[in-house]
Each structure stands twice: as structure tokens, then as C-alpha cells.
Amino acid sequence: MPPPLPTAVGVLSLAGMALLWRDISSKVKGDKRTLGSLLSQYVAVKAVGWLGRRQRKKLEADTLMVKQVQEETLLKRLRKNADTFYGRKYDFRSIEDAAGFRARHPITTYGDYREFIERVAAGEEKVIIAEKPLILAMTSGTSGPSAMLLSTKDTNTDFFLQGVTVCLEAMRQAFPESNSLQRTTKFFYTPTFRQSEAGIPIGPNSSTPASSRHILNLYTTPAPAFEVPSEKDTLYLHLLFALKDPSVGTLESNFASTVFYAFTALQERWQELVEDVERGTISSSLTLEPKVRSRLEALMKPDAERAAQLRAHSQEGFGGIAKRLWPHLNLVLAVDSGSNQIYGEMLREHYCRGVPFYSPFYAATEGLIGVNLWPQEPDRRYLLCPRSMFCEFLPESSLDEETPQTLLMEEVKEGESYELVITNASGLFRYRIGDIVKVTGFHNQCPIVEFQYRRGQMLNVRGEKVSEALFLGALKNAVAQWPGAQLVDYSCAESGILGDSIGGSDPHYQVFIELKGVRNLTEEQRYKLDICLQKDSAVYKSFRIKGSIGSMRVQLVSEGAFKELQRKMMAYTSTSANTFKMHRVLRRKEYAEFLLGKTVS
């Protein structure tokens, strides 16, 4: 007779394994996953879920004592960098509280750091931060020239723990069906990094295939695809391997614009993609190294059944195509606020009809700013993360003052708008990031904000200060009055940037629009936009009545013009496709002239 204890242990182990397998099986959609792949995803989901619940509890506790937590965060940054050149300059070691810091240290802009960052890039140590930066991070350049900032281990750790895990937990609670073992199609690309004099990588500070190498098996796109340097070819591979898998659960990217352009590429290259699925091939139009092509082709098998399904789905058109291609699709996970708002709206109205969207973060190259704890709400609201950055707020009315006074988290008022001033983990102190946010409420003591606009993305030819949000609202109202028109993309330029090339003396706005469903606009239709903006902005209307501002000139550009402009901008600013945001106000003459050259009406 076997000993009772080992027998009991064996029975319990078998029972535990059975329960584990039952749990895994209940979360599986589709039948093309290996056991190893399922187990690794199951463990990752459980681990991140545990971390998310833990971090959410910490966040809730922090929101009950915001003033104390903010001061702790500030002093932690100052103590760590007290022995740097910059820390000694402002005697960080002697600063005891937020009031002392604000009295001693001035408000700063990028110009205050350019020389210090160049010294770090050249290899000098302990200039602004105590440790060597992981990368020299390039900003997207939406409000001026692309800037180079420092990115540290602390920045990345804060983003993962305070941002990623918390948002994934919020997502799981709001969309329980997303808590499954389905693969995600993540549209991201391998950026090009260059090296500083000291060998520090220079490039975008965002999620990349290299930084995600340990979890690439959670995505539909196989690892060899990320060795392809062409964004266009990598996108084709993203789409091809996504189409092969009918059980995709999530479509993910940093920004909704990337998802939108993925769907436009899907529509353009549909026949080619379906033929590859059917034949088990990879199109010869892709420029691939022989070894990469061989490794990718080894993952392809002819699938006539899936190809037939895809052809049947496309017969209904591309409206709502996402849910037909992937019946178990739970979510589109991408930021769709700010300059990405129009892409999110177009996706919801067309390609991704009926699929929920979640815009998880408010973040920038400078680091994590806020998290969206309300995934199902249509308005994108973000709770500021009190342990990520020390935040100050410049009232919108005082932005142009020489020495404006800031407010703290506990001092801001609901309904008011402010420019954020941050002190972060990577060497920025009382730094104006140029983002204007509106306080929409509080979670306990912590402000909840909505992004409004970038200071550098404001139209202002006579002091009227028309923000991105204000202009977009007017544009959407005008487009709704143009029969059959669907907005694809837009940018504006102040007439001064184009000089004599456009004629006319009165300052005005040049508006470049890409539309679907319309090939021409009448003068009356174009004037509708001017009228809509006058209705929304009393200041703009007063300048128009006085004749101080001329009527805006609306140019309809050719299909694909903005995608071409994106490539041009990315080449100029060294921005990656992972972090690119379309400039709504063009500050470079060559960009505006490029769109003028694409005008069709």
C-alpha cells in the first residue's frame, strides 16, 4: 500500500494541473497555439494582473494624500541628482520642500538644457543626472524642432509600473473578455538609432520590438518581420500574419493614426494579401533579405479555406471589416486623444465599427503623465500620476507673462485650463512641456485632466489664438455640411510662412484637407469652414469682421498626400513611426509648399 502523504500530494498536483488547464482552455480562442506559447502568455497575464492590482492600490492610497506624495517625489528626484553639476548649481541638497525648490529654481524651457544634454551626449558624466542615460530620446517635434532629451531606467520603470500595469488592470475590469489568451496584433516598427559621440543611442523613447523581445510571442507578427528595415514592408507583414489568425483579440499601437493607416494599407493591398494567405507565400514585391524571407516563408502554409473566408468578408465592403475578419476582436488599444482624435473617430465610424477603443495613457518623451481609469467613457480623461512627476500648473491666462506663478496639484480648479510644468526622473526641472490641459474633476485629491492642445500648435496671426481642439471642432462641423465628404486628415499654416507664393496681403489661414467621397469643393463649401470657426470663436469672428484677418483658404489635396508628408517629416526630424504625430499647424515652409503642390482643388 503506498504511503498516504505522497499519494495525497500526487492527487492534489493532478487536480491543480487539471484546474490550471481548465482555466487556460477557457481563455483560448482558436486552435493554432502551442502549449508553450499558451503557458508563457498565461503566466505573463497573471503576473501583470497581480502587479496591476498592487499598483492600483498604491495609486488609490496616493490620491488621498497628493501634497505629501508630490513632495516625496520631488525630493527623491533632487536627492538622487544632488551631486551632479546641475544639482550643485542649484544646491539641491539643501532644498527641504516644494516651496524651497520653487523659490530657488526658475521655470525652464528646452533652451535651458540644450548645452547640458550635448555634454552628456559627448560622454561627460553627472551633468544633470547621476546615472548614464539609456538613450537620448528624440521628441516628435509637433510644436517646433525635434528636441533631444535624456531617458533613464527610472523613467521606464515608472512607465511600466505606474502606467502599463495599472491600465491593463483597468482594461481587464472594463472589458473582461480581453482577459483571454488571444494574440494581439501590435503595429510597431524597428526604429533607426544612431550613436552619440559617447556611444549613447539616439532615437525614439517608445515601445519597440527590441524592448519587447521577451513578449513577441504574444503578438501575431513573427520576430523575423522586425528585422525588415522598411516600414511599408513591415506593415504588410503585420497585416499578413494578422489575417492568417481569425482569433486575434486586440489591435494595438501607440497611436490611433498608426492603426488607421494600417487599415488603409489593408484596403489598398487586399488582393495581394489574400493571395499570399491562399498560396502560403510572401509577396515578391517586398524587399527582404534572403535569410529573413526564408524564415518568414517557413511560417507560411497554403490556407485556401481562410482565403475564401477573407474574400467573402470583403464582399460586404470595408465598413466594419475588423469585426468580420476577427470575430473575437475585443478591443483597439491606442491613444486617440489630442491630434489622434480624428483617426480614432474614422476608425470607429468605418473600419472598426462596433469595436471598443481604449486610450490608456497620457504620456510624452518626458515620461508618464497620467492614466485613463475610465476605459468605457467616450471622453478621454487621465488621472495624473502623483509619483511619476512633480507637477506644477501655469494658468492659461498667464502663459505669456515673463515670470508666471504656478499652482500645485492641490491648488488647481475644476473647469480651468493650465500648461503643465514638470520635474521628472530624467533631468528636467520645472520644465514647460507645452501641453495645455483642462482639469475636469478630481479622484480623491488628485486632478483628472483632458488634453486640450500644444502651445506650438495654435493658429495665431493677429493674437486670436485658435487652438487645435477649437479648429478641429469647426472643421468637423463644416465637413458634416459637405455632402458625401469624409475627413481623412488635415493641417494648417499661417499665411506668413508661405510669403509671396500665395498672394494676398491680409494674414489668413491656409487649410490643407484630405477627404474621401469628394473630389471638388465649391467656394461656398470652403467658406462654410470660415463661418463655422467664426461661430465657435468670438475673437476670430471679431478680427474677420474688422478685416484684420482674411478669409481662410481651403485646399483639397490628393489621396495619400498626408502619408507622404508623414514620411517627409519623419526623415527631417528623425522621428520613428512608433511616435509620430501629425503636425496640425505647419511651422516649416517646405511642409506647407509640399501640400500646396499636392492640391487638386
The pLDDT tens digits of the residues spanning 220-277 come to 999 999 999 999 999 999 999 999 999 999 999 999 999 999 999 999 999 999 999 9
pLDDT score for 6 = 59
Tell me how far apart the alpha carbons of residues 419 and 433 are, in angstroms, rounded to a whole number. 8
C-alpha cell at 109: 524651457
Asked whether 348 and 334 are in contact (CB, 8 A), the reply is no
Average pLDDT over residues 109-135: 95
Q: 1-15, 331-345, 463-477, 547-561 — which is least confidently predicted?
A: 1-15
Q: Which candidate, 421, 417, 429, 489, places its Cα nearest to that of 453?
A: 417
Span 390-437, pLDDT tens digits? 999 999 999 888 889 999 999 999 999 999 999 999 999 999 999 999
pLDDT score for 589 = 92
pLDDT score for 481 = 95
**Cβ-Cβ contacts under 8 Å for 3 (sequence gap 6 or more):** none
DSSP string, 431-499: EEEEEEEEEEEEETTEEEEEEEEEGGG-B-SSS--B-HHHHHHHHHHHHTTSTT-EEEEEEEEEGGGTG
In one letter, which amino acid is 153? K
Confidence of residue 27 (pLDDT cuts 50, 70, 90): low
Confidence of residue 31 (pLDDT cuts 50, 70, 90): low
Confidence of residue 44 (pLDDT cuts 50, 70, 90): confident
446-454 and 431-443: which strand pairing?
antiparallel
The average confidence (pLDDT) of the chain is 90
Span 166-216, pLDDT tens digits? 999 999 999 998 888 899 999 999 888 889 999 999 888 877 887 777 777
Q: Which candidate, 146, 138, 144, places its Cα nearest to that of 587?
A: 144
**Cβ-Cβ contacts under 8 Å for 355 (sequence gap 6 or more):** 251, 322, 323, 329, 330, 331, 332, 348
pLDDT at 499 over 80: no
pLDDT score for 5 = 58
pLDDT score for 205 = 80
Average pLDDT over residues 568-581: 81
Number of other CB atoms surrounding residue 76 within 10 Å: 14
- Give the helix/strand (H/E) hosting 550: none
Tell me how far apart the alpha carbons of residues 262 and 236 are, in angstroms, rounded to a whole number. 9
Confidence of residue 577 (pLDDT cuts 50, 70, 90): confident
Span 60-115, pLDDT tens digits? 999 999 999 999 999 999 999 999 999 999 999 999 999 999 999 999 999 999 99
Span 506-555, pLDDT tens digits? 899 999 999 999 989 999 999 999 999 999 999 999 999 999 999 999 99
C-alpha cell at 320: 466594419
Own/partner long-range contacts of 192-199 (Cβ < 8 Å, ≥24 apart): 192/229, 192/574, 192/576, 193/135, 194/574, 196/121, 196/122, 196/123, 196/136, 197/121, 197/122, 197/123, 198/120, 198/121, 198/122, 198/123, 199/123
pTM: predicted TM-score of the whole model, two decimal places: 0.87
Residue ranges of domains in the chain:
66-154+362-456, 176-355, 458-597
pLDDT at 357 over 90: yes
Cα dist from 430 to 27, 287, 455, whole Å: 47, 47, 17
Average pLDDT over residues 575-592: 88
Q: Which candidate, 124, 160, 123, 121, places its Cα nearest to that of 137?
A: 121
At the fourth CATH level, the homologous superfamily of domain 66-154+362-456 is ANL, N-terminal domain (3.40.50.12780)
431-443 and 417-423: which strand pairing?
antiparallel
Confidence of residue 576 (pLDDT cuts 50, 70, 90): confident
